[in-house]
Amino acid sequence: MVQSAPQAARGRLPLVGPAEARREHHAVVGTRCNLGCGYCQRLPPAAKGDAGAAAPGGVVVVGGGEPMLEPGLLSRLRALPGPVVLETNGALLHVASNVRRLAAARVRGVRLFLPGWDDESTDRLARVPGLASLQAAAARNVLDAGLELELGIPVTLELAAELPRWLERVEALRGRGADAPRVALAWLVPAGSSATGELELALARFALSAVRRGVVAWLAGPAAPAPCAFRRPEAFASLFAGPRAPRARAPACGACVLSDVCAGPVHGATAAGFEDGGRGAVAFEAATATLRHAAEVQAWVEAGEGQRWGRANFVSVGSEPDLRGGVALSALLRGLYHCNQRCTFCWVDLEQPRVPTPAVEQALAMTALEGMQVLSITGGEPTLDRRLPAQVRLARALGAREVTLQTNAVRLDDPERARALAQAGLTRAFVSLHGATAEVSDAITRAPGTFARTLRGIRNLLDAGISVGVGVVFTTENRSQARALVTLVATELRGVDLTLSVASPVNERVDVRAVTPRYSELAPTLREAVATARALGVPFAGLFGQCGLPPCILDGEPACFPELEREHPVWSSAEDFVHAPVCEGCRLRPKCPGIRRAYAEVHGVEELHAL
């Protein structure tokens, strides 16, 4: 088990480490409450305890009802032998003196329960006008008194879809806190109700959003289900890494592969043990590993690395045409940034560290919940990652019918590596080839000797039965080789298709003036490449979209833009692309993403015209 990030000076309940150091003992001091939340439920019998009982090696979470309404609360809190966290709605803590009294009673922290995700929903769901303002004052008072501030969020079937919206309020209330915000998810799903697919997807989205925002979150309390209560708990594995309320074990727990990291089943629930559940051996093995190492994700968050390892930074989700001519939900995985080439037009930061395995597996599991059909694995150069075959196998086991590898194929000059990927379930490889000769290609990739290795890698992929596409990026350095490049593909790499694109100034790493020619000057080159491909019977695509160029540069010629026949929406970003005023009268305006902003800033937009 990894060690957690350094804790605050006064010490907090760690998220990783020995199990006995992560225990929460829950005690109920009363049932009265000053709110009227419609989803509130009485805690199960296992939650009721003696507020004066010892809590060896853990923390006592004192709740209710609203414990601040109970007479004699402070004396009962002082009698507790261990550290105490008070679970409260905070309505009475807007008075600073009340918070100071808690501090004097040796309360270490306050878990402030948030009925809603903003001011309006808070007041509406709690049925107490003005509660949101009272809670904001309470949070300030808790921090001013030097107490730990945790925030509680309800998990209900009705409000599941809203879970990620609570995170903005968490950040606003946590505000001045120096440490990562900590969120305890209170399980308020009625006993006997099963976790629906919608609820699991909501938990997964919340978990990954929390990681990205640097929020430590976990399923808390005696009512929180064990992993075996869900169909795909690995999609929100990090939520099982927090403090746990010890519970009695069921017979099935003895043989469970997670018995040493699970608190046990909820009182009265039937434990099934964590089993295959239809995942298949590969997916089950990955799920088990992800759940067992879930605390690593939370440790990164506590160390301030959450934003780096949030799914959005290494997995992009969208839709794209699939090999069957339809549209599929797709994901792009960038788990490794290092590369064995240094292409002049590349915009990727190749110095970023490798994405840790638990983060990759949790993100893929969540993407599978969303219905992933196609996965593309890119980099850097993904063949440098020893985890690549396992990632391919996992994606197929999670339901991806197509897995594509974006690669320079240099390391696939070893036929054994190509065969291993085929056996893992790789369906397609998209190989970068940027010159018709070693002189030009090696100059662009700045990796002498790799041109010949790429050609061998392509042939090995074909021999292994993997569909291959070759991607050519035209730059100022290779535009004179258009005909030769297409001829090379047609004559020496039979059976591959071709994607033509243009060096795109995605970010400041691409020198537009040095790498990207003016589109109007490149047009003859592109027409020659298209004509050669058509004459030699090489299927091609790619000139339209984010890595292509506006159709008007080639007068919208259908032969140059076969993608225009599809109804698939074109990706576009107002931040990265612009249109010229003349574009407003163009018949392709609804489909065309426009021109790269960085290109327009250097070369202008005068080349554009309406079709």
**pLDDT of residue 299 exceeding 60:** yes
CA angle 351, 354, 357 (to 5 degrees): 170
**pLDDT of residue 61 exceeding 60:** yes
- The helix (H) or strand (E) run that includes residue 214 is none
* pLDDT at residue 294, rounded to an integer: 81
For the ranges 5-14, 540-549, 600-609, which has the lowest average pLDDT? 5-14
* pLDDT at residue 321, rounded to an integer: 53
**pLDDT of residue 393 exceeding 50:** yes
Whether 388 and 421 have beta carbons less than 8 Å apart is answered as yes
Whether 439 and 414 have beta carbons less than 8 Å apart is answered as no
Print the SS3 string covering 274-305: CCCCCCCHHHHHHHHHHHHCHHHHHHHHHCCC
457 alpha carbon, distance to own chain's centre: 31
Print the SS3 string covering 338-390: CCCCCCCCCCCCCCCCCCCHHHHHHHHHHHHHCCCCEEEEECCCHHHCCCHHH
Highest mean pLDDT of the ranges 48-52, 142-146, 414-418: 414-418
**pLDDT of residue 173 exceeding 50:** yes
Query: Tell me, what amino acid is at 540?
Result: F
Tell me whether residue 403 is exposed, middle or buried, using C-beta atoms within 10 angstroms of its C-beta: 0 to 12, 13 to 18, 19 or more: buried
Distance in angstroms (rounded) separating the CA atoms of residues 359 and 365? 10
The model's pLDDT over 308-320, given as tens digits with 9 standing for 90+, comes to: 666 666 777 766 5
The model's pLDDT over 309-359, given as tens digits with 9 standing for 90+, comes to: 666 667 777 665 544 455 667 888 888 889 999 988 887 887 888 888 888
Whether 359 and 391 have beta carbons less than 8 Å apart is answered as no
What is the mean pLDDT of the segment spanning 169-173? 90
The sheet with strand 374-378 has its strands ordered as 315-321, 327-334, 374-378, 402-407, 428-432, 467-474, 497-502, 540-541
Token pair, residue 275, equals: 């089993």
Whether 380 and 334 have beta carbons less than 8 Å apart is answered as yes
Q: 503 Cβ partners below 8 Å, 6+ apart?
A: 344, 345, 473, 474, 475, 510, 515, 516
Beta bridge partners of 155: 187
What is the mean pLDDT of the segment spanning 111-131? 95
Token pair, residue 207, equals: 């978990």
Whether 201 and 370 have beta carbons less than 8 Å apart is answered as yes
* pLDDT at residue 488, rounded to an integer: 95
Instruction: Look up tokens 């409000």; give the residue.
Output: 159
- The helix (H) or strand (E) run that includes residue 84 is strand 84-88
Q: Per the omega criterion (within 30 degrees of 0), is the bond before 371 cis?
A: no
The model's pLDDT over 420-474, given as tens digits with 9 standing for 90+, comes to: 999 999 999 999 999 999 999 999 999 999 999 999 999 999 999 999 999 999 9
Tell me whether residue 609 is exposed, middle or buried, using C-beta atoms within 10 angstroms of its C-beta: 0 to 12, 13 to 18, 19 or more: middle
Whether 28 and 63 have beta carbons less than 8 Å apart is answered as yes
Q: Please state the pTM of the whole predicted model.
A: 0.79
Distance in angstroms (rounded) separating the CA atoms of residues 319 and 330? 5
* pLDDT at residue 325, rounded to an integer: 54
Dihedral, 229, 231, 234, 238 alpha carbons, nearest 10 = -40
Token pair, residue 280, equals: 């298949």
Q: What are phi and psi of 234, to 5 degrees?
A: -65, -20
Confidence bin at 57 (pLDDT 50/70/90): low
Q: Per the omega criterion (within 30 degrees of 0), is the bond before 548 cis?
A: no
The sheet with strand 58-63 has its strands ordered as 23-28, 58-63, 84-88, 107-113, 148-155, 182-187, 216-220
- The helix (H) or strand (E) run that includes residue 578 is strand 577-578
State the helix-helix crossing angle for 415-424 and 388-397, rounded to 10 degrees. 20
Instruction: Look up tokens 């000053």; give the residue.
Output: 34
* Residue (of 7, 43, 15, 56) closest to 240 by Cα position: 15
What is the mean pLDDT of the segment spanning 347-376? 84
How many angstroms separate the first and last alpha carbons of the chain? 61
The model's pLDDT over 548-590, given as tens digits with 9 standing for 90+, comes to: 888 999 998 888 887 776 654 455 555 788 899 999 999 888 8
Q: Give the pairing type, strands 595-596 and 315-321.
A: unpaired
